[in-house]
Amino acid sequence: MNALTTPTTGRGASSRFTSMAVRLVERVGAADLKIVQSASTPAGSVDTTTLRNVLRSVDQAFSTYRSSLATNVSTNLYASGGPNATTRAAFDAQNVKDVATLKTAVTTAIAPLPASVQSSLTSTLSNDLQTLQTNMTNLTTPGSGFVSRLLFRVRTAFVSGRSQVQVDSDIASAVRTYNQGLA
């Protein structure tokens, strides 16, 4: 994801950027799934169907987060003539709540995994989602113009997408490590 260049303000740049980011997320997810599918499956291991279902639940959690994020941008950041310091503070405060909700949803999503895998993921996923919150807070407050709004939305999509890739990768890695430990 770091190899993606920041979109310019040229015609279609944000669309190309978003398409590239989505293709990258899909490739990483597919690669992780292939690695897990190719591993031997000893008794008591996490099978690909379980992992796939967990990752689908994580995807749904992030989809809900992104929907809340879009609402947050519209109703908080651009409220009352914003963006300004007051509306940015409201946006950041709501994002803290939305990330907490996301964390709960991700924790619920990994519930079908063995307790030892869940335990090994607790700190890692918490750090991943704290990074998401920090990265959202660190985004430069946009101006009120159309291009500035558009770039802010693209940047928030990129940050949330990168976070989802990290969470998915961490879950797949923990499952792979668990399954290898059973062999």
- Pairwise CA distance, residues 54 & 109, whole Å: 5
Q: What is the pLDDT of residues 50-99, one digit of tens each?
A: 999 999 999 999 999 999 999 999 999 988 777 999 999 999 999 999 99
pLDDT confidence tier of residue 163, bands split at 50, 70 and 90? very high
- 153 closest CA partner among 98, 63, 71: 71
Distance CA 183, CA 180 (A): 5
Which tops the pLDDT comparison, 1 or 129?
A: 129
Work out the pLDDT band at 10, boundaries 50, 70, 90.
low
Model pLDDT for residues 33-44, shown as the tens digit of each residue: 677 666 556 677
Listing DSSP states for 67-96 in one string gives HHHHHHIIIIITSTT-SSHHHHHHHHHHHH
Reference 157, options 65, 77, 59; nearest CA is 65
**pLDDT score recorded for residue 161:** 93
Residues 9, 154: Cα–Cα separation, whole Å: 11
Q: Residues near 155 by Cβ (< 8 Å), separated by ≥ 6?
A: 139
Return the CA Rg of the chain: 18
Q: What percent of the chain has a predicted confidence (pLDDT) above 70?
A: 83
Confidence band for 12, pLDDT divided at 50, 70 and 90: low
Query: What is the reported pLDDT for 138?
Result: 95
